Amino acid sequence: MGGAAPIVAQGLNHYFGLGEARKQAIWDLNLTIKRGTLTILMGPSGSGKTTVLTLMGCLRDVQEGRVDLLGHPLRGATEAELVQLRRRLGFIFQAHNLHESLTAAQNVLMGLQVHGAGDAVKQRHAAAHMLGLLGLADRMDYLPANLSGGQKQRVAVARALVSNPEVIFADEPTAALDKESGRVVVDMLKTLGQTRGTTTVMVTHDNRIMDLADRIITLEEGRVVKDTNP
């Protein structure tokens, strides 16, 4: 892998709707994101942040232009290739999206079992360790319904990080967290970048964490208007 950029976007355009209603959301986006960095996407509502994130995270088909993720061009990739790629990524959504029927530990296990059954004992330990790091050691066997909003979000973070993803995409992951645990999560992402070379792209409005970013990209109406390395 070395220093090759995990994410490269070139001449990326994206449109929503059909016919009269067709509307361009992303205009000629060109971006190269370096390995092991924490990049923050910001901009007003409707500026295209989420759209960019889903395009780079192979959750949405690339219509025009080019996105290379971990060395693989996403446009024209088969569903099977996309599935394989997704297993190397971690997603943290604004809503926790935990499975209501699974306990905290089982939800985290789902992040591991996507790679196969593996060693059940090892997997349980990994899940427990990750939940412990996020301060949830005593909530392992709770169903989401019995957890607070912040706790649920931290379980979701644990689920995304437990499989050591190469790239993490997060959309306002700290919105549901108090200042303290928000900071813990972002610190963690930052540390992962430095120790394991994990690359993080995060959408956030949270000023409290801007200082941790390696790069801040500002979008407006689907275009990059500012790109800084603080």
Partner 1 sequence: MNRLLTWLFGRLPIGWLQLSHSRTRLIAAVAGVAFANLLVFMQLGIMGALNNSTVAPYALIDGDIILSSSEGNTLTDSGNIARAYMFQALGVAGVASGIPLYIGNLPLTLADGSSISLLSFGVDISQTQFVAPVIAPALAGLALENTVLLDKDTRSMPAEALASLATGSSFTFEANGKTLTAVGSMAVGGGFLADGMMVTSDQTFLRFFGSRRSGAPDHILLRVVDGVSSATVVDRLRAELPAGIVKVQTMPEARAADLAFMATERPTGIIFGFGVFMGILVGLVIVYQVLSTDVADHLREYATFKAMGYDQPFFLGIVFEEALILAVFGFIPGLIVSMGLYAGLNVVTGLPVVMDSARAALVFVGTLAACSASGAIATRRLAAADPADLF
Ligand X SMILES: Nc1ncnc2c1ncn2[C@@H]1O[C@H](COP(=O)(O)OP(=O)(O)OP(=O)(O)O)[C@@H](O)[C@H]1O
Residues that bind ligand X (CB under 6 A): 16-17, 25, 43, 45-51
Binding to partner 1 by CB under 8 A, coded x per residue (else -) over 66-95, reads -------------xx--xxxxxxx-x-xxx
* Binding partner of 183, given Mg ion, ligand X, partner 1, none, CB within 5-8 angstroms per partner class: none
Helix and strand totals (H; E) in the chain: 6, 10
The single residue listed with the structure tokens 């990209």 is: 217
With contacts defined by CB under 8 A, name the span among 3-11, 68-76, 101-109, 176-184 that binds partner 1. Answer: 101-109
How is residue 123 written in tokens? 């997997």
Are β-strands 72-73 and 23-33 bridged in parallel, bridged antiparallel, or unpaired? unpaired
* Binding partner of 25, given ligand X, Mg ion, partner 1, none, CB within 5-8 angstroms per partner class: ligand X
CA dihedral 218, 161, 206, 8 (to 10 degrees): 0
* Binding partner of 60, given Mg ion, ligand X, partner 1, none, CB within 5-8 angstroms per partner class: partner 1
* Binding partner of 84, given partner 1, ligand X, Mg ion, none, CB within 5-8 angstroms per partner class: partner 1
**For the chain, percent helix, then strand, then coil, each to nearest 5?**
35, 25, 35
Residue 185's CB: how many other CB atoms inside 10 A? Answer: 22
Contact 92, 170 (CB under 8 A): yes
Number of residues that bind partner 1 (CB under 8 A): 35
Residues of this chain that bind partner 1 (CB under 8 A): 50, 53-54, 57, 59-60, 79-80, 83-89, 91, 93-95, 97-102, 106, 109-111, 113-114, 117, 120, 159, 171
